Chains A and B, each alone.
Chain A
Amino acid sequence: GQNIDQPTEMTATEGAIVQINCTYQTSGFNGLFWYQQHAGEAPTFLSYNVLDGLEEKGRFSSFLSRSKGYSYLLLKELQMKDSASYLCAVREEAAGNKLTFGGGTRVLVKP
């Protein structure tokens, strides 16, 4: 099975940077996804990492270290609209589109 841990909640100020960590344990890793979910809405895809390193997409970046079972999502130049839950999800080998999600990190951006 899999175990995915991420902090429950984080608070940051508008314009600042926040880093959301995700650690995982899996028997056969085949990719890690980050999703954003606003209250009452569907999760939306942010990033995908399968190789070690940093993937940058505008204000959002995601990092993966497979040897450490560790990823982080970096949100820069925070905006009020970034207040949402951020979900880390891992896919195992030969598991198709079965993703195991962490509990999510609720980020609150304050003015």
Chain B
Amino acid sequence: KAGVTQTPRYLIKTRGQQVTLSCSPISGHRSVSWYQQTPGQGLQFLFEYFSETQRNKGNFPGRFSGRQFSNSRSEMNVSTLELGDSALYLCASSSGTGGSPLHFGNGTRLTVT
């Protein structure tokens, strides 16, 4: 079974630009979550989508948004990029039931200059 796939792996953007990250979950998984990882703040929850609906949202500004498609693939968008948005963005999928674990992708390393 293929794992969680994130594209692109690396991205360099300039302040003020916007960026879209993509995530393909494990086949059959309906829940997709996004996390931001930085050395200072660790892993921070952004949002979760389940069956195309946002189920939970973290404490990030409205510049961070996401969506999920009918095939469970998900995209995350960050508009008006700031230097502080430089981070590893991790996508995780799960079946969404009970104690099912999150399975993480390898992430997208975003650098904002």
Contact = CB atoms under 8 A, between A and B. Distances in A.
Contacts of A48: 99, 101
Contact of B48 (A31, A41, A43, A96): A96
B99 A50 contact: yes
Interface in A23-43: 31, 33, 35, 41-43
A33 to B, nearest CB: 6
Contact of A104 (B4, B31, B42, B44): B42
A99 B99 CA distance: 12
B74 interface: no
A29 to B, nearest CB: 12
Contact of B55 (A43, A45, A89, A96): A96
Contacts of A98: 33, 45, 48, 56, 58
Consensus secondary structure, chain B interface? strand
Contacts of B104: 35, 42-44
Interface stretch (B14-22, B60-68, B77-85, B89-97): B89-97
Given A97-B31, A97-B94, A45 B56 contact: no
Given A41-B106, A43-B90, A44-B104, A97 B42 contact: no
Contacts of B58: 98
A32 to B, nearest CB: 10
Interface in A87-109: 87, 89, 95-104
Contacts of B106: 41-42
A45 B102 contact: yes
A74 B105 CA distance: 25
Nearest to B31: A97
B42 A96 contact: no
Given A41-B106, A103-B42, A104-B42, A97 B99 contact: no
11 contacts: A31-B99, A33-B102, A42-B104, A43-B104, A45-B102, A87-B42, A97-B55, A98-B48, A98-B56, A99-B102, A100-B45
